[in-house]
Amino acid sequence: MSGNFAVSATGLNKQVVTRFAPSPTGFLHIGGARTALFNWLFARHHGGKFLLRVEDTDRARSTEGAVAAIFDGLEWLGLGGDEPAIFQFERSARHAEVANQLLAQGDAYRCYATPEELAELREQQRAAKQPMRYDGRWRDRDPSDAPTNAPYVIRLKAPREGETVIEDAVQGRVVVQNAELDDMILLRSDGTPTYMLAVVVDDNDMGVTHVIRGDDHLNNAFRQLGIIKAMGWEEPVYAHIPLIHGSDGAKLSKRHGALGVDAYRDEMGMLPEAVLNYLLRLGWGYGDEEIISRERAIELFDVSGVGRSPSRFDIKKLENLNAHYLREADDARLAGLTAPRIAVRLGMAQLPPGAGDVLALAMPSLKPRAKTLNEIAEGAEFLFKSCPLDFDEKALALLDESARELLGKTADALDPVQDWTVEAIEEAIRRVAEEAELGLGKVAQPLRAALTGRTVSPGIFDVLFLLGKVESLKRLNDVGQTSAGRSN
Ligand code: GLU
């Protein structure tokens, strides 16, 4: 691993340019988001540029919906590109131009092998237990041998002797014997460029200095270097980061949380800063620091801190970070994020006017007990329910005859409270407990059940305060009158 990555060959003299190059065949998954983050941070750390390239050359599998989902996920995470995104397919003519240039300068050749011939070659190699590779049958043939008007592909004339070395900033020195790399296709017989060619041409034209991507692309790098060398272009610094595995060490799958980032936002109720912090720590570390803000990450990040072994995805850690960031987050912002979730829970199109203010006021007592926005929504929904409440079983069990009596006394004690403050409410409730010779908890329990329909809620004085006097008394009276109050 090179510790001085930033000052290596291409790093210092030129402005650092990184890129994230997703293939739009699905959502922005968590591994892709981490790759984007590392590229973004690396560029920021070095005062460079972070670019986006949509690798949409696979026309059958690329969709507009996927492009939108990827941009949406990047925007949510604050990882937008510094320039408008490049769409690879639009650059096909330029890719073909480079293939033709390689042809003209003798670093590529036309290959007329038919699909049948190649299938036969593969069959022979399989039978002989040899690695399956193109054998270079058109590499040195006289062009005058070419059949007239027959389709051909353009192949790179790759070196056959020697070795190709990559000093990878994460993987270290990786060497491949050139004999193992066959003459790959650059341009197909229909004139379309291959993915391998497109990546190299685009990286060059975009001025990419550092290629930071998943280590599933390490093998590609050796082939891509062949084109770079033949064109005499400057080699980028490569940093192939280990993939993310599930908590059990197996390849990450949906079961482990290999979902689109939108699932973390929408279904799980995570904050972007928590997801970013989590992704940052997934494979990269700085001492024991767990909580690392975006600013601090820009200051500290370097690929030299990325480990070589696969990192394990741990949803519990992500939840704990999310809990931390929820506690730090602005209450009005959290109110805005949770209001639609509460409305959905209660089957309403939206919460009534003024709900945002109530929610923001409630946030200090809601957020310390929540790990996700969903849990805040769950804890907050009692505020917007209408009577009769839907009591859960445990709450119902608490509302027996003697509890109802106690609730009657509580209502009587609260009724005269003029100044509806947490302090005044607390004083009234304490008096009820004293007079009944009960501990405060014994009074609070049925009270909570009657006011929220649940046995878990923010502190009972806060509940009363947040509901307001009118609504609190209404709910207490309601319990007295409805079946909820009868023991069952
Ligand atoms: N489009 C490739 C992918 O989505 C990335 C290629 C690259 O980073 O060079 O995996």
Per-residue pLDDT tens for 404-438?
Answer: 999 999 999 999 999 999 999 999 999 999 999 99
pTM here is 0.90
Tell me if residue 254 is catalytic.
Answer: yes
Q: Where are the domains of the chain?
A: 91-241, 261-384, 393-487
The residue whose CA is least distant from atom 5 of ligand 1 is 21
Distance 212 CA to ligand 1 centre (A): 10
SS3 readout for 298-343: HHHCCHHHECCCCEECCHHHHHHHHHHHHHHCCHHHHHHHHHHHHH
Q: Which residue has the tokens 């330029």?
A: 94
Over its length of 488 residues, how does the chain's per-residue pLDDT go in tens digits? 333 344 444 445 689 999 999 999 988 999 999 999 999 999 999 999 999 999 999 989 999 999 999 999 999 999 999 999 999 999 999 999 999 999 999 999 999 999 999 999 999 999 999 988 999 999 999 888 989 999 999 999 999 999 999 999 999 999 999 999 999 999 999 999 999 999 999 999 999 999 999 999 999 999 999 999 999 999 999 999 999 988 888 877 766 666 889 999 999 999 999 999 999 999 898 888 999 999 999 999 999 899 998 888 999 999 999 999 999 999 999 999 999 999 999 999 999 999 999 999 999 999 999 999 999 999 999 999 998 899 999 999 999 999 999 999 999 999 999 999 999 999 999 999 999 999 999 999 999 999 999 999 999 999 999 999 999 999 999 987 754 444 44
CATH, range 91-241: 3.40.50.620
State how far the Cα of 217 lies from the Cα of 188, in Å rounded to an integer: 21
State the pLDDT at residue 256: 67
Question: Nearest-CA neighbor of 279 among 451, 40, 14?
Answer: 40
CATH, range 393-487: 1.10.10.350
The string of pLDDT tens digits covering residues 293-310 is 999 999 999 998 999 988
Q: How many CB atoms lie within 10 A of CB 382?
A: 21
- Cβ 199 under 6 angstroms from ligand 1: yes
The string of pLDDT tens digits covering residues 194-212 is 999 999 999 999 999 999 9
Element (H, E) at 210: strand 210-214
Distance 276 CA to ligand 1 centre (A): 20
State how far the Cα of 94 lies from the Cα of 135, in Å rounded to an integer: 28
Instruction: Return the ligand 1 atom nearest residue 220 CA.
Output: 9
- Could you tell me where the beta strands, DSSP code E, fall in 290-448? 311-312
State how far the Cα of 95 lies from the Cα of 98, in Å rounded to an integer: 5
Distance of CA 119 to the CA centre of its chain: 41
State the pLDDT at residue 380: 96
Q: Best substitution site from 20, 51, 74, 199 to test ligand 1's pocket, by max atoms within 8 Å of Cβ? A: 199
State whether the Cα torsion 2-5-8-10 is positive or negative. positive
- Cβ 52 under 6 angstroms from ligand 1: no
Phi/psi at 17 (5° precision): -130, 125
CATH, range 261-384: 1.10.1160.10
Residues of 181-190 as b/e, b for ≥16 C-beta within 10 angstroms? Answer: bbbbbbbebe
State the pLDDT at residue 387: 87
- Cβ 51 under 6 angstroms from ligand 1: no
State how far the Cα of 203 lies from the Cα of 246, in Å rounded to an integer: 31
The residue whose CA is least distant from atom 7 of ligand 1 is 21
Angle between helix 272-281 and 315-328 (nearest 10):
140
Instruction: Return the ligand 1 atom nearest residue 32 CA.
Output: 4
State whether the Cα torsion 241-243-246-250 is positive or negative. negative
Element (H, E) at 213: strand 210-214
Question: Looking at 254, 385, 394, 474, which residue is catalytic?
Answer: 254
Question: Nearest-CA neighbor of 78 among 277, 241, 299, 212?
Answer: 277
Contact 350, 339 (CB under 8 A): yes
Tokens coding 340 = 């639609």
Could you tell me the end-to-end alpha-carbon distance of the chain, in angstroms, rounded to an integer? Answer: 69
State the pLDDT at residue 12: 53
State the pLDDT at residue 14: 83
- Cβ 55 under 6 angstroms from ligand 1: yes
- Cβ 217 under 6 angstroms from ligand 1: yes
- Cβ 23 under 6 angstroms from ligand 1: yes
State the pLDDT at residue 246: 84
